[in-house]
Structure 1
Amino acid sequence: MTAYIGLGSNLDQPLEQIRQAIQTLAKQPSLNNLRISKLYASKPVGPQDQPDYVNAVASFETSLSGIELLDLLQSIEQDHHRLRERHWGPRTLDLDLLLYGQEQIDLPRLTVPHPFMLERGFVIQPLHDLAPDMLLVNGTTVTEQLHQLDTSDLVIITEE
């Protein structure tokens, strides 16, 4: 199964947090063919009394189920001392399962496709780096969806 995840950080050296998370993902035996988008700086969603974010999207092949993958991602977040103090608050590392093949998952702990991904430029722009022609659940391609969003706040940091 091909999975796409969003990576985000805005605390404790965010660029380094993302790079360490990428290294951790690359070492996972259950994840293969890891690909990483460009890294972007973006304004926070929600409360603006927090630093800007570093964002990226990763794709890989996995035989893990959606819930098993969620558990792995959350364990990596915990290794990075992720705290969940407030909704849309600052974080050392956020790993969101965006897409899991073409599957739609609606469980108490997991909703896939990610419910807000289509409206977030900091998700769609890096997803475009990896899969511009992929068809999304709303019937548009990633490229078409990108053209519907304001991405003027995104700044390319580096190409991984």
Structure 2
Amino acid sequence: MNEVYLSIGTNIGEREKNLQQAVQALMEHSAVRVKHVSSIYETAAVGYTEQADFLNIAVAIETKLIAREMLDICQSIENELGRVREIRWGPRIIDLDILLYNQENIDTESLIIPHPRMHERAFVLVPLQEIAPSNGIVHEKATHTLQAFNIEQEGVKLWKKVDSIEEFMGN
């Protein structure tokens, strides 16, 4: 089985529901097993800042799929939930990014893993470190980077504490 970490974010509409629908779509896929979901963090927009704040989570999954197939699933979920790409780093109903795929380094035209900007983004590292504190890559990237960040200045705030997938899904 492959160990995969995703970042999921949203800043349009019913943000928590959007996150839940994305996780539900992952759970419904026969080749994906959702293992952990982080707490929900509210974060200020990065890049294009004239937009609403985001809700962000990290998700740990297991899958037999290769990385490219996992990317296809993520993009399919984005499309199903109504993702429209108009402005780079602009508002979005949902965004699923593959952060890590095992301990692999992948660099293709359509996919770079580890995610090339994850070490620059507290809104990715904070939830990721919550669900993967003993992962070597996460520890290496998060420890150094998060020490340099003032998390509150970076706009990352705990929005809702989550202790289980069931709690996240509202069950």
> Residues 131 and 143 from structure 1, CA distance in 2 versus in 1: closer, same or farther, beyond 3 angstroms?
farther
- Give the Cα separation in 2 of the matches to 1:135 and 1:97: 17
- Give the Cα separation in 2 of the matches to 1:124 and 1:13: 23
Gaps of 5+ in 1: none
1:6 alignment partner, SS class: strand
- Give the Cα separation in 2 of the matches to 1:77 and 1:125: 23
2:78 corresponds in structure 1 to 77
Matches within 5 A, 1:123-134: 123-134=124-135
Letter of the aligned partner of 2:42 in structure 1? A
Q: Of 136, 156, 159, which residue of structure 1 is paired with 2:158?
A: 156
Alignment size in residue pairs: 159
Shift of residue 156, structure 1, vs aligned partner: 1.3
1:26 alignment partner, SS class: helix
Shift of residue 81, structure 1, vs aligned partner: 0.7
Gaps of 5+ in 2: 163-167
1:146 corresponds in structure 2 to 146
Shift of residue 84, structure 1, vs aligned partner: 0.6
- Give the Cα separation in 2 of the matches to 1:45 and 1:145: 16
2:165 corresponds in structure 1 to none
1:150 alignment partner, SS class: coil
RMSD, aligned α-carbons: 1.5
TM-score, structure 1 as length reference: 0.93
Shift of residue 134, structure 1, vs aligned partner: 1.7
Question: Does 2:37 correspond to 1:36?
Answer: yes
- Give the Cα separation in 2 of the matches to 1:141 and 1:113: 10
2:8 corresponds in structure 1 to 7
Shift of residue 27, structure 1, vs aligned partner: 1.5
1:55 alignment partner, SS class: strand
- Give the Cα separation in 2 of the matches to 1:13 and 1:134: 32
- Give the Cα separation in 1 of the matches to 2:34 and 2:95: 21
